[in-house]
Structure 1
Amino acid sequence: MNRSTLSLIGAVVALAAVTGFAAVAAPSGGQDGAKSTGTAAARLPVERSSLLCPAPSTSDLAETTYTSFTPKGATADAKSGKAELVPVTVAGKPAKKPTVILKEPGKPVTATASGADAPALVGTADGALAPGWAAQQTTKLGTGRGLLGVSCSAPDTEFWFPGVSTAETRQDYVHLTNPDDSAAVADVELYGPQGAIESDAGEGITVPPHATVPVLLSTLSSAKINDATVHVTTRAGRVGAAVQALEDKVGGDWLTASADPAGNVVLPGIPADAKSVRLVVFATGEGDADLKVKLAGANGSLTPAGAETLHVKSRMTASLDLGDVARGEAGALVLSPTEGNKSAPVVAAMRVVRGVKDKQEVAYVPATASVGARSTVADNRAQGSVLSLTAPGAAGEVKVTASAGSQGGEPVSKTFKVKAGATLSVAAPVPAGLKGSYALTVESVSGGPVHAARVLTIEEDRVPMFTVQSMPDDKGTVVVPRAKNDLSVLDPALDD
């Protein structure tokens, strides 16, 4: 070994000692027979999370409750970190004080706002409060009808919203919120039963830094479309996106983005007393989708009479009126390719109506991913919170934890088994000695994937006002490749 090589080794060793220099380990066994230099990747808690909540309402009678919560986990004993939701700023003015400040995991905090001036919120959580951070915005319109609930969501660059409308009976706004220091530029595309709807109005919408922009969908087209799909993408930056859908005579609710396009999708959260369910599906790929439609009920899956299949043409929106499909039994819709057909990616949502005549209320439920390792929904009440758990394939088992209350109470956990192809609908566990509201956390224990949704009901004047929040994996952990000191990345000759 020559002197220059020895000097190089000495320099590298010193660098490693001072800076902790490391190289990501390569997978074991390669095609060239190289020896293994590493171990399996680790799954670690995230260190930072972002959430955005849209502006609640334009009604002077609106009453909004914000709830922020992080479940206890691997970093539950850590004292570092904070989670804050701050109102969007107005250009030229300094940032406002936080609306909601969460200081510890395991116990939710709440705040309230009244009237039409309640702003959109942007927020971050770090340290012990980042993994699994969840927030909910619940608004009661105060008009005798209308409970609007939305789980605040992370910013992204693409969103699909099947189930929107430009009909005269609807006022649908897609709210775009920018959490960053630079402007975002978004495109809002509308697709109906005949495909893309040409419009320049949705192109290149600028969303200023730390601001929100509502876009009325009926301004994108003069056509009155009952069932449509909105596609939001960004040319620059990222945004949070949610659709507020208000309907004449049946109230309204928030429609959150569908799960990523897939050949098999699950829409959980149909209440047992649903009077009407309407399914809306959009095929995102180049091929048509031929789908089997099944209802996963208490005792297994069944095919709705007269609605066994749905054909969805490529880049078009299709709908299916399922009527009183629940028939007194809570359930979920499960869509899969028909026999002999290739899996074509779709996104989906459903419109659900409860009540009768002038006592009706509506909610919108998107297709949702499974709870994965863990999922949390905030703002549960002592009464009126129902958990809907669906195992579309193999039977599954989950652990459900009711957190401490925002003003007092002790956590309670229960384990539930969900039969294969079925839906289990249960009253949500309630913390012992509950005061205030609380959060629900669902964790996978064993078996197949379970999809979950929480139905929150507040009955007033015989109107079953309700909102449904789906519960996908909270992505509170990330896979981090293990690393080791590896001098061969600087001198391959050392790898002998």
Structure 2
Amino acid sequence: MNRTTLSLIAAATALAAVTGFATLESPDASGDSAAGTAARLPVERTSLLCPQPSTSDIADTAYTSFTPVVEGASDSGKAQLQAATEESADSTAGKKSGGKAAKPAKPVVQPKEPGKPAAGDTSGADAPALVGIASGRFAPGWTVQETTRVAAGNGRGLLGTNCTAPDTEFWFPGASTAAARTDYVHLTNPDDSAAVVDIDLYGKDGTLKSTVADGITVQPHAGEPILLNTLTGDPQTDLTVHVSVRSGRVGAAVQALDDKTGGDWLAAAADPAGSLVMPGIPKDATSVRLVAFAPGDTDADLKVRLASPSGLITPAGNETLHVKAGMTSAVDLGDVTRGEAGSLVLTPTGSSVPVVAALRVVRGKGADQETAFIPATAPVGARATVADNTAKGSTLAVTAPGGGARIRVTASAGSEGGTAVSKTFTIKGGTTQNVAAPVPSGLKGTYALTVEVVSGGPVYASRMLAATSEGVPGFTIQNLPDDRGTVSVPQAEQDLSVLLKQ
């Protein structure tokens, strides 16, 4: 064995000790592959982006962070939520004044331990977009809720959104450029380089022409609100917004503000699919409007059904919906729930054609009307969490549109005190239930709800948060898709012989 080979072995041994150098196992003779025995392990890093909450001087915004306790997670780690511009300052600290680091601003939220919510707040029109990073034990299933109260003015009421992971494509059916609406697309760039974004708008007759919606630059560590009315001169009651990123990645959400019916955040809908579920229509909804869009070249014909507490029913007069390719379709469903909890289920009447969809929901009457949105969502999967719940203002809706399911709902400790508690529920197939979610014993502050599927499914869920601010009733709805807190890791073993092969 020559000296070169010995050197390679020594280097490889050191590399294996530091990094766990490994190769994937080949399939064995039985046909079982390494992928088939892959383990699901907790993720070790999570990024979340929160849009600029409001342009109102009287806005008050609460941020609530929560990470469930996850078996197998790291013993170390940290999480914090801070202004996007502070991320930029941190990355350049130490490059000035002879290497002396600038002191960063205090994070808006910095949790101390998994299993207990951490809260922070901002106020006024100058509150910035936030960037959150969680590592180690804080990363698996990390969620942050942004909840804003606006007592008066355009879009007054309760506005809420889950802060989202950066991505490269987003669909928003349910936006509008009508005279009564003021809708913004909020883009947040968490990275050190600029992102370049295209925004396409689709109305009832197809693509809307725009000379300024292509190649929008979002500066590094910055949030950029873009008024939809400035992108087109053609007012549209129902609009589908498509955000695609040419370079980089962003977080995206639509803030929809109405002169008379308040406002809320419209989160991105689930990826285009042939069948869709929009869970948790409030039982006292006075108006429900369905907006759908088929992004391909083929028209879609959809069966419209409501998953009620007693089973799947077909709304009279709205049995089906025809969606022309490349065009936004909408239909008013009125008070479709008729005093009972419900979820809307769309399935193809024939061939499956991918669509995106969302609901615009109104509660109240006259001057007390308020608006929220329910985009189509992914199922709960293994586990999903929503933060910033209150003892009396939270309603958890769960639907199993196919077969029945058994779920476990855990209420975390409170942000200021209280003990976690869990409860198990059975959801019958084809139904929606407003479950009596547990509340932490001795609750002080707010708490998180975590939904886990014990058996059966798939299961879809949403949480409605209701509150009254200075006499103005408000509500907001957030879906509970799978938190992607674990990742599949194929079985592997060390194999240093690969360094000796020529």
Return the TM-score normalized by structure 2. 0.92
Q: Displacement, 1:96?
A: 3.4
Note the alpha carbon deviations across 1:216-269, whole angstroms, 9 max, x for none.
011111111000100001111000000000001110000000011111110011
1:64 counterpart (61, 64, 69):
61
1:294 matched residue in structure 2: 305
Note the alpha carbon deviations across 1:284-333, whole angstroms, 9 max, x for none.
22211110000001011000000000011112111111001010011100
Q: Which amino acid aligns with 2:324?
A: K
DSSP-derived class of the 1:443 partner: strand
DSSP-derived class of the 1:187 partner: strand
Alignment pair present for 1:181 and 2:166:
no
1:321 matched residue in structure 2: 332
Alignment partners' CA distance in 1, 2:55 and 2:86: 17
CA gap 1:38/1:234 in 2 versus in 1, 3 angstroms: closer
The 5-angstrom pairing of residues 422-437 of structure 1 reads 422-437=431-446
Contact 2:151 2:469 in 1 (8 A): no
The 5-angstrom pairing of residues 38-53 of structure 1 reads 40-53=37-50
1:247 matched residue in structure 2: 258
Q: Displacement, 1:342?
A: 1.2
Q: Displacement, 1:113?
A: 1.3
2:15 counterpart (13, 19, 41):
19
Contact 1:385 1:427 in 2 (8 A): no
Contact 1:189 1:196 in 2 (8 A): yes
CA gap 1:141/1:205 in 2 versus in 1, 3 angstroms: same
Contact 2:24 2:34 in 1 (8 A): no
Contact 1:87 1:97 in 2 (8 A): no
Spell out structure 1 runs of 4+ moving beyond 4 A.
10-16, 35-39, 90-95, 460-463, 487-493
Q: Which amino acid aligns with 2:237?
A: N
Alignment partners' CA distance in 2, 1:425 and 1:328: 12
2:85 matched residue in structure 1: 89
1:214 counterpart (209, 215, 225):
225
Alignment pair present for 1:337 and 2:334:
no
1:100 matched residue in structure 2: 109
2:412 matched residue in structure 1: 403
2:249 matched residue in structure 1: 238
DSSP-derived class of the 1:276 partner: strand
1:198 matched residue in structure 2: 209
Q: Which amino acid aligns with 1:122?
A: V
Q: Displacement, 1:14?
A: 4.4
Alignment partners' CA distance in 2, 1:387 and 1:176: 29
DSSP-derived class of the 1:358 partner: helix
Return the TM-score normalized by structure 1. 0.93
Q: Displacement, 1:448?
A: 1.4
CA gap 1:15/1:378 in 2 versus in 1, 3 angstroms: same
DSSP-derived class of the 2:193 partner: coil
Alignment partners' CA distance in 2, 1:213 and 1:246: 17
Contact 1:62 1:141 in 2 (8 A): yes
Q: Displacement, 1:22?
A: 1.8
Note the alpha carbon deviations across 1:405-457, whole angstroms, 9 max, x for none.
00000001011111101101124321000000000101110001100000001
The CA RMSD measured in Å over matched residues stands at 2.2
1:164 matched residue in structure 2: 175
The 5-angstrom pairing of residues 73-152 of structure 1 reads 73-75=70-72, 78-89=74-85, 96-143=105-152, 145-152=156-163
Alignment partners' CA distance in 2, 1:488 and 1:330: 62
Alignment partners' CA distance in 2, 1:180 and 1:251: 33
Contact 1:16 1:22 in 2 (8 A): no
Alignment pair present for 1:155 and 2:166:
yes
Alignment partners' CA distance in 2, 1:433 and 1:294: 41
Alignment partners' CA distance in 2, 1:465 and 1:267: 20
CA gap 1:84/1:418 in 2 versus in 1, 3 angstroms: same
CA gap 1:27/1:262 in 2 versus in 1, 3 angstroms: farther
Note the alpha carbon deviations across 1:148-191, whole angstroms, 9 max, x for none.
00000000000000000000000000000000111111111100
Q: Which amino acid aligns with 2:83?
A: P
Q: Displacement, 1:470?
A: 0.3
CA gap 1:36/1:405 in 2 versus in 1, 3 angstroms: closer
* Unaligned residue ranges in structure 2 (runs of 5+): 91-103
DSSP-derived class of the 1:125 partner: strand
User: What is the total number of aligned residue pairs between the two structures?
Assistant: 483
Alignment partners' CA distance in 1, 2:471 and 2:118: 30
DSSP-derived class of the 2:379 partner: coil
CA gap 1:36/1:346 in 2 versus in 1, 3 angstroms: closer
Q: Displacement, 1:17?
A: 3.1
2:459 matched residue in structure 1: 450
The 5-angstrom pairing of residues 276-295 of structure 1 reads 276-295=287-306
The 5-angstrom pairing of residues 305-320 of structure 1 reads 305-320=316-331
